Chains A and B, each alone.
Chain A
Amino acid sequence: MRLLAALICGVVFGCGIVISGMSNPAKVINFFDVAGTFDASLLLVMGSALATTFIGYRLLFGARPKPVYDVKYSLPTSKVIDAPLILGSIGFGVGWGITGFCPGGAIPALGFMDSRVAIFLVAMLAGMWATRAFRERQPKAATA
C-alpha cells in the first residue's frame, strides 16, 4: 500500500508538472526571458503550487501527528545558510536557464519520448553522481 501511495503521488506530481508547462523548456525559458518572448505562466504555477502546499502542510501537521505509512515526518532541520547552498543554487539556476529543464520538469518530460530529454537527464545524473563521489572523498582526503 505504501508503494501504491507513492505511485499515485508520482502520477499526480507528473500530471501537475506536464499540465502546468514546467516540463516544456520553451515555456520555461520564455518565463525567464523578460526582455524578449516573455510568458508569465510559470509565476502562476509557482504561486499555485506554493499556496496549495503552504495551506495543505499546515492543515496536515495540525491534524495528524504522523504520516500514514511511517512513524514520523522526515523534515530537513538545517537552518545554516552556507556557500554550497548559495553557489550550488546559482549553478542550478544557470543550468536551468541554459536548458529550460529542472529535475522535476525533466523526469515527467521523459514520457514525451524525446531523446533530448534523455540527453539532458544523463548529463544531469552524471553531474549529481560525480559531485556526490567527489564530496565523499573530501573528508577522507582531509584526514589522510
Chain B
Amino acid sequence: MVTEFTPIAALVGGGLIGLSAVMLMALLGRIAGMTMILAGVLPPYSSDTSWRLVFLAGSISAPLLLGSIGVQTGFAVPVSNVALIVGGLIVGVGVTYGNGCTSGHGVCGIARLSPRSIVATCAFMAAAFVTVYVMRHVIGG
C-alpha cells in the first residue's frame, strides 16, 4: 500500500511530540516515554499512576479532537490480526527488556545524549528495517 510523503505534517507533528516531551519535563519532571508510562499503570502498580492514566487518556482523545476540528489523518493497518498478536507480544517483551521505545529512547533519551538510548534506537531502527525487508521482499516477495 502506497502512502503519500507528507513533509509538513511530519515536521509539525514531530514538533508537537517534542513540545509535549519538554512540557512534561518542565511541569512534572518526567520523561515522555510511552513504555515507562504504560509500565507504571500495569501491576505491580507504581505509587504514581494517576498522572500516567491522565496522560494516556489525553493522548487517546487526540484523534477525536483532531477529527472534530476537521483535521484529516490517515490510518490503515496493512497486516493480519495474527501478525498484530505476534508482533504485539514481541513489542511488549522487547520494550520491557529494552526499557523504552521510540518516544523514551528515540526522542527523550537521544535528546539527553544518553548512550543507552542511542544504542537502543540504532538497534530497534535497524531491526525494523530488516524485518520489513524480510516480511515484504523475502517472505512476501
Contacts and interface: CB of A to CB of B under 8 A. Distances in A.
Contacts of B21: 13, 49, 52-53, 56-57
Interface in B69-127: 71, 73-79, 81, 83-99, 101-103, 105-112, 114-116, 119-121, 123-127
Contacts, number: 484
B111 A13 contact: no
Interface string A88-108: 111111111111111111011
Interface string B129-141: 1111101110000
Question: Could you say which of A14, A81, A85 has the most chain B C-beta atoms within 10 Å of its C-beta?
Answer: A14
Given A9-B58, A98-B86, A89 B124 contact: yes
Question: Could you say which of B19, B66, B74 has the most chain A C-beta atoms within 10 Å of its C-beta?
Answer: B19
Contacts of B99: 76, 84-85, 88
B71 A19 contact: yes
A60 B62 contact: no
B24 A9 contact: yes
Interface residues of A, number: 114
B20 A9 contact: yes
Contacts of A39: 2-5
Interface residues of B, number: 112
Interface of A: 2-3, 5-27, 29-30, 32-37, 39-54, 56-57, 60, 64, 66-70, 72-76, 78-81, 84-105, 107-112, 114, 116-117, 119-132, 135-136
Given A14-B61, A25-B78, 15 more contacts: A6-B24, A10-B57, A16-B17, A18-B66, A22-B17, A24-B3, A34-B133, A37-B1, A49-B14, A66-B29, A73-B29, A76-B99, A86-B98, A90-B127, A124-B91
The B interface, classified by DSSP as helix, strand, loop or mixed, is helix
B10 A96 contact: no
Contacts of A87: 97-98
Interface of B: 1-7, 9-35, 38-39, 42-44, 50-52, 54-66, 71, 73-79, 81, 83-99, 101-103, 105-112, 114-116, 119-121, 123-133, 135-137
B70 to A, nearest CB: 13
